[in-house]
Amino acid sequence: MDRFERVAAGWIGGLVTLLLVVVVAAAAGWFFYCPCERTPGGWLLGEAVSEPVADWSFANDVPLCQIQVRAGLLPHSINLNCMASAGALYLSCAQCEGKTWSTAALANPSARLRLGERVYPVTLARVEDAATLDEAWRARETKLGRDPERPREAGWWSFRVEFRG
């Protein structure tokens, strides 16, 4: 191998290494920084909360919640509407059937919830009682500044959130 070939091989190896570093850094950034808008993420970072929460009303001051569930080998996190009513906390989901997070929550209800910069260990339970679904729907509509008497949409699911200490 002549000198030119050795130099070229060195440059190509260096570029491949640099590209690999950039891809790994981007993947790690996505995994730890997102969920972003509608793009899911991985592990939720923030201050871990260990004190039980009896009244979740403060969640109405946060525009969106982030929920992290176990979907396969890796954590899966997304942004969701969350709303409190009479101290109880609910997460909502339109056309929820078959979505990654809701399917994972039904299979394993243990999750992590981030409100602002704080992360709470929680348990999720799908709400199927019509009266409780209507209560969660009214809380959602009120939080979003809409008419709380507007009928609940078909295919709309809600999960009740309980602190898991």
pLDDT category, 134, cuts 50, 70, 90? very high
Q: Which two tokens stand for residue 76?
A: 């899966």
CATH numbers and ranges of domains, the chain: 47-163 (2.30.110.10)
Instruction: Look at residue 3 and tell me whether its pLDDT is greater than 90.
Output: no
Per residue in 64-102, is it b (16+ CB within 10 Å) or e — as a string? Answer: ebbbbbebeeebbbbbbbbbbbeebbbbbbeebeeeebb
pTM more than 0.75: yes
pLDDT category, 139, cuts 50, 70, 90? very high
- In terms of C-beta distances under 8 Å and separation of at least 24 residues, what long-range contacts does 27-34 make, across chains too? 34/77
Instruction: Look at residue 22 and tell me whether its pLDDT is greater than 50.
Output: no
Phi and psi torsions of 108, nearest 5°? -145, 100
CA contacts within 13 A on the Cβ side of 16: 6
Looking at residue 80, its pLDDT comes to 92
For residues 46-75, average pLDDT: 94
Instruction: Look at residue 19 and tell me whether its pLDDT is greater than 60.
Output: no
Instruction: Look at residue 8 and tell me whether its pLDDT is greater than 70.
Output: no
